[in-house]
Amino acid sequence: MTRTFWVGGNWKMNGSVASIKDLATTFNAGKTPADVEVVIGAPYVYIPLLADTLRKDWAVAGENCYVHATGAYTGEISPEMLADVGAKWVILGHSERRHILNESSEFTAQKVVKALAAGLKVALCVGELLEEREAGTTQVIVNTQLDAVVSAVSESDWANIVIAYEPVWAIGTGKVASPEQAQEVHAAIREYLKAAVSPKVAEETRIAYGGSVGGKNCKELAQKPDVDGFLVGGASLKPEFLDIVHATQ
């Protein structure tokens, strides 16, 4: 089957009203291939602005959410709130949540369940640290991160999940996993899904690559058979993002 190519932007803790209006104007003027799905993740406070100004064939994502709809959880944002202000997706399990804020795979899985129940689609991030890659435990780490979600969701839920493989050593460092390294891990993730969930889910689930993706390396990465898209950090804050959207063309 042909999996629809998925390109996500993750603005992280960046942006302003002025810069987002400028970016939306730039992105709105660009062309998007009919067979590519585009999602932009923005800080909570800018999601309504982005949802209002961004082209309607692109979706907006939250960069995180909590595990309850409402309550005494000062500073947290529920998936229902994200949906209420225009988000269609949420990014969960990013390495910066796992390693800076010490969020566990089990907590991430709880968020995935809650987000799906609220009607959001999920970009689920997984990936290894440099020392884990050097120790040869990349797939053990990735599989363990996936195990928690596999145990928490149903087979049908995977239709609304994109897996983003992001080697932590390549995020914001300028280092990029080679196309061969990316393909190796993506293929292994697909084999994992085949055994842990089902062959159908393994075949249909999109696996995006993230880690210093830019206009110069995106086309070669996109040619790999198990690379179904990208989750883009810094380059998604630049006009260069449109080049990445066209990586398969």
* Backbone CA torsion sign across 142, 147, 152, 157: positive
Spot the catalytic one: 63, 166, 186, 246.
166
Is residue 134 flagged as an active site residue?
no
Is residue 96 flagged as an active site residue?
no
Q: Which amino acid is at 195?
A: A
Spot the catalytic one: 94, 96, 103, 128.
94
Helices (H), the chain: 17-29, 47-53, 79-84, 95-99, 105-117, 130-134, 138-152, 179-196, 199-204, 218-222, 241-245
Token output for 150? 């596999």
Q: Would you give the distance in Å from CA 118 to the centre of its chain?
A: 18
| Region of 209 on the Ramachandran plot (φ > 0 left; ψ -120 to 50 alpha; else beta) | beta
Q: Which residues are catalytic?
A: 94, 166
